[in-house]
Amino acid sequence: MSHYNRPDGTKMTKKSSFELPVDERESYLKSLPAEAGRTQGFSSRVTPLSRWEVISLDYWADPRKTAEWALEMISTIGMARYQREFLRNWKVSTQSPFFPEYLARGGDEAFVRIFKAVGSVTPLVAGLDFGRRRPSCVAMQANPRKTRLYVLREWLPQSIGARAFYQVVAWLFGALGKDNIEAEGLKHILDLERAAAEGKGPKVPWFHGRIPWQRFAGSEALRTQELTSDTEQQRVLDVWQAAGHPLGVWVESVDARVLIMRHLLRPWPANSSPYILIDKWCTNVRAAFSGGYTFVRPTKLNPEPNKPHKDGFYDNVMDALMYGAANIIDIKRPDLGGPEPKVELVPSEEKKEDVKSKGTYSRAEQVVKKPESFSTPFGELATEPGVYNRDEGVWS
């Protein structure tokens, strides 16, 4: 290795990208924006309303900050801090991702799909977390073998009573008519409908009640919560029970459901698909996997923590996902690969043009590249899922 001087005159080790480990070198190359080194590192824009001119300077505006300088920064402060502090990528967390397998095995490009139909053989499942400020619902479905998980939809309202949360979730699954929903729930339904009309969310309700649905939650369902904005309180479990939709409560350890999720994120065979596939509208689930859901910060007493960080947002949506997955995925059953038995499919929404992947309730905006082809339990598809024709045995 050779040395050269930093701008302040101190010595700095010069590393070429070929002297870094392969994964670190690839991460560095992917982190650079397209204009890196091609522009002067200066840009400006005028805000549409206030007409302020906003000027941005990138680090390569300083000719002394070359690619070698960037590599030195990465080796010193790490890729996450480099992304945030020098590329202004605030979607990246400075803490360690709890499920690094997601990004290591391709991230959104590998795991994200566009689902326009759901199977009618296995039930739909609502994974539920009853956080006081951010309750979460994640809709999912397992394949007939219970070896692959399809994450179809998500909903993360804010400051909602237990009864209104139940009513909106039941409406989203096609199990409750809008006429039976109280005022608090109707406000949230209006937000969902507005988001769908503006192309910022999926069509609602998600499903039309043709397929039975199951509900799974954690031990917080045994906790007493406010039914509405009034002071009346009741156990969440009793709210759902009284409405005729009882909950299955997950009482096993956190490690058990984490094990199931890591099982789904394991490498998959060539010419197959990942064991967990996520719809493009599940922006918060994707952001959680991409670094939002992290380990707790290390301390001197616990330098290598093994518990997730409870931030009241990403941990809620991930708990909802894991409650459902833990109850419907069979980790003891081997995945045989190849197409599964043909089944009839029920369209979940009208076919429409793809829109930019932007969720109403997301902290991050991400664009998903549509894959050319991928496998499903029902066969190999050349494009995104459409409607399955049982008589002809083909997708249309």
Rounded CA-CA distance 5/249 in Å is: 61
Q: Do 348 and 325 sit in the same domain of this protein?
A: yes
Q: Do 134 and 67 sit in the same domain of this protein?
A: no
Q: Which SS3 state, helix, strand or coil, does residue 225 take?
A: strand
Q: Do 77 and 124 sit in the same domain of this protein?
A: no
- Residue 352: pLDDT band with limits 50, 70, 90: very low
**Per the structure block, which two tokens stand in for 206?**
């998600």
Note whether residue 177 is domain-resident: yes
**Phi, psi at residue 15, to the nearest 5°?**
-115, 135
Residue 347 pLDDT > 50: no
Structural domain boundaries enclosing 31? 2-87
Note whether residue 320 is domain-resident: yes
pTM for this one? 0.65
Q: Do 230 and 349 sit in the same domain of this protein?
A: yes
Determine contact, residues 101/276, Cβ cutoff 8 Å: no
Residue 65 pLDDT > 90: no
| DSSP letter assigned to residue 242 | H
**DSSP for 333-366?**
SPP--SPPPP--EEE-S----------TT-SS--
The candidate with the shortest Cα–Cα distance to 121, out of 244, 248, 210, 245, is 210
**Structural domains counted in the chain:** 2
pLDDT, residue 89, reads 65
Residue 7 pLDDT > 90: no
Residues found in the chain: 396
pLDDT, residue 121, reads 85
User: For residue 346, what are the β-bridge partners?
Assistant: 118
Q: Do 109 and 76 sit in the same domain of this protein?
A: no
Note whether residue 231 is domain-resident: yes
Q: Do 304 and 173 sit in the same domain of this protein?
A: yes
Q: Do 79 and 120 sit in the same domain of this protein?
A: no
Note whether residue 95 is domain-resident: no
For strands 248-249 and 213-217, give the pairing: parallel
CA distances from 55 to 31, 63, 390 (A): 22, 19, 58
Note whether residue 369 is domain-resident: yes
Rounded CA-CA distance 236/227 in Å is: 8
pLDDT, residue 168, reads 97
Q: Which of 53, 87, 121 delimits the end of a domain?
A: 87
Residue 107 pLDDT > 50: yes
pLDDT, residue 384, reads 37
For strands 379-381 and 388-389, give the pairing: unpaired
Q: Do 139 and 59 sit in the same domain of this protein?
A: no
Determine contact, residues 129/327, Cβ cutoff 8 Å: no
Q: Do 127 and 165 sit in the same domain of this protein?
A: yes
Mean pLDDT value of segment 75-100: 69
The candidate with the shortest Cα–Cα distance to 125, out of 110, 107, 140, is 140
pLDDT, residue 33, reads 59
Q: Which H, E and C letters describe 110-127, residue by residue?
A: HHEECCCEEECCCCEEEE
In sequence order, which residues have a C-beta less than 8 Å from that of residue 89 and are 6 or more positions away? 31, 83
User: For residue 171, what are the β-bridge partners?
Assistant: none
Q: Which of 64, 87, 110 delimits the end of a domain?
A: 87
Residue 91 pLDDT > 70: no
Q: Do 29 and 131 sit in the same domain of this protein?
A: no
Q: Do 66 and 198 sit in the same domain of this protein?
A: no
Q: Across all residues in the chain, what is the average pLDDT?
A: 75
> For the chain, what percent of residues have pLDDT higher than 70?
67
Q: Which SS3 state, helix, strand or coil, does residue 91 take?
A: coil
Note whether residue 286 is domain-resident: yes
Note whether residue 158 is domain-resident: yes
Determine contact, residues 160/188, Cβ cutoff 8 Å: yes
Q: Do 181 and 131 sit in the same domain of this protein?
A: yes
pLDDT, residue 231, reads 58
Mean pLDDT value of segment 276-303: 83
- Lowest-confidence segment of 94-98, 139-143, 189-193, 377-381 by average pLDDT: 377-381
Q: Which of 87, 122, 149 delimits the end of a domain?
A: 87
Candidate ranges 47-51, 91-95, 151-155, 359-363; pick with highest mean pLDDT: 151-155
CATH assignment at residue 214: 3.30.420.280
- Residue 24: pLDDT band with limits 50, 70, 90: low
Candidate ranges 176-190, 228-242, 325-339, 357-371; pick with highest mean pLDDT: 176-190
Note whether residue 93 is domain-resident: no
